[in-house]
Structure 1
């Protein structure tokens, strides 16, 4: 009889992950507004070391394959990362796990399956997203034990959250910023959004993700008639699979007209109407325009975060 796989963490479903939030709060885990949004999106594979007494939770984005990790402290984080068998692929032991319906997951992600697939073989690339800045050095130290390239990015992102005390009052206030030209993005908008997308590490996979985001029932677009009398996309913002909003952009020729405020107000309303109670975003600390726009709508800084990307080339 072949030995049973050794699971570092145990998979839990949406209901269990939602219930786990109460325990995480009681144990003093930090910045759980991000965890709450991610779980609500139901776009993650949710893993925990001990459901009754957790010390670490890992949410893997099923569309992008990136890791969002919630450790109780830095020691737990280091011990966990040091145990991962990157050579065999992090998800390989879970391939036949009875509590994970891979067929259902692959049916959902479609052509975006490459993010998950990379963790079923020798791991050549891993992304830790929205990592608390204070945990960056511990993460890098551990990853360097296996990966020969670990990008130490100088970009730092503010994690901003919008405090909500009364949902309907917030919606009513945000509607004052709208003029009726706001709408959802469509899949046809993805090409233009991709053209101006400011991801530092954009890849061939990015357009597939943006088509997904532009087809979502949560997004923001502002259209105006151009000189030819045709409706043109002037400003936009998207809802990411981790529950955050971002990639706020206004075409250069339409800047200074307040369109960014309109699409931001529109997407927040859509979030609240869809049951999200803690809208949040990541904004580069040096992006003065976006910082001003989101803080002007009431977003408040919660923590500084980094993206850590590790790869193995030999």
Structure 2
């Protein structure tokens, strides 16, 4: 299959080129910090953990930051994420419209699409005879590493904070509100490859609350077990992960659905600032026009 796509408009960016791509997004900090974190995390997964992650440029050129990330979620679904610094979005449009790497007869999940690329996304959907069936809007929250480094973490009595292990993946997956979109193997991959923290009871090591660092380089899957809510555990594990991220010389980022007022309140109390808005969108072939 890859041989047939040798001359496709979308060409894979080599792992040793990803840091060059990443550094294009240092401008106007923290506006593009989530994109910087995503590419940086992908480079780590590829080079240190041997994960197969592919980013594509349009015609082998990415000096304007134009990049498309394609992954298969299931046999009938494709996930797309794309970024660019080019204001017209024309190169993104060309890449998405002309590539043979995307099967538009499948369901498409557009993940973390920023405001500047929303009009493009609707144009692409119309041109490819896709119809949207799900749309969620969220905000991107940012905390500089200097603030995170100053966090004081007060561990509640009879508890301790520590890294998650693979044995916790099943419980975290079962408790996750959005587990229908992913698998327990996905949660396990985050625990395996990234810094992820939980707060445990000191006697029997019961996991009571947790937060993971996701493949986009952002905090996520923050949750407290129902039996242990309203004890401040979510704040404790969030501070612990933010401090760890700061030790690695990175800022902390999280995405929060606009309807999730509890999470917005928590992250705002920790000093996070909303810096942009984004969308998660799902679309499928329009049977009335494509066939």
Q: TM-score range by the shorter chain?
A: 0.7 to 0.9
Separation of aligned partners in 2, 1:30 and 1:182: 29
Separation of aligned partners in 2, 1:260 and 1:194: 17
**Is the counterpart of residue 311 in structure 1 residue 289 in structure 2?**
no
Q: 2:140 aligns with which of 143, 159, 164?
A: 159
How much has 1:74 moved relative to structure 2? Answer: 4.5
Q: 1:125 aligns with which of 70, 93, 107?
A: 107
Cα gap change, 1:122/1:292 in structure 2, threshold over 3 Å: closer, same or farther? Answer: closer
Q: 1:46 aligns with which of 55, 59, 71?
A: 55
Q: 2:246 aligns with which of 266, 272, 275?
A: 272
Q: Over residues 86-112 of structure 1, what are the superposed CA-to-partner deviations in whole Å (9 max), with x where a residue is unaligned? A: xx433xxxxxxxxxxxxxxxxxxxxxx
Unaligned runs of 5+ in 2: 46-52
1:127 match: secondary structure: strand
Paired position in structure 2 for 1:111 = none
Paired position in structure 2 for 1:67 = 80
| 1:1-314 matches, cutoff 5 A | 5-24=6-25, 31-41=31-41, 42=43, 43=45, 44-49=53-58, 51=61, 53-54=63-64, 56-60=66-70, 66-71=79-84, 72-76=86-90, 79-80=93-94, 83-85=97-99, 88-90=100-102, 124-153=106-135, 155-164=136-145, 166=146, 170-171=148-149, 173-178=150-155, 181-199=160-178, 202-203=180-181, 205-224=182-201, 230-273=204-247, 275-312=248-285
> Structure 1 or 2: larger strand share?
2
Cα gap change, 1:151/1:138 in structure 2, threshold over 3 Å: closer, same or farther? Answer: farther
8 Å CA contact retained: 2:25, 2:35: no
Q: Over residues 40-81 of structure 1, what are the superposed CA-to-partner deviations in whole Å (9 max), with x where a residue is unaligned? A: 212442222364742622234688963221122254266336
How much has 1:247 moved relative to structure 2? Answer: 1.4
Separation of aligned partners in 2, 1:55 and 1:162: 23
How much has 1:122 moved relative to structure 2? Answer: 6.5
Relative to the length of structure 1, the TM-score reads 0.73
How much has 1:16 moved relative to structure 2? Answer: 2.0
Instruction: Report which stretch shifted further, 243-252 or 124-133.
Output: 124-133
Instruction: Report which stretch shifted further, 289-298 or 53-62.
Output: 53-62
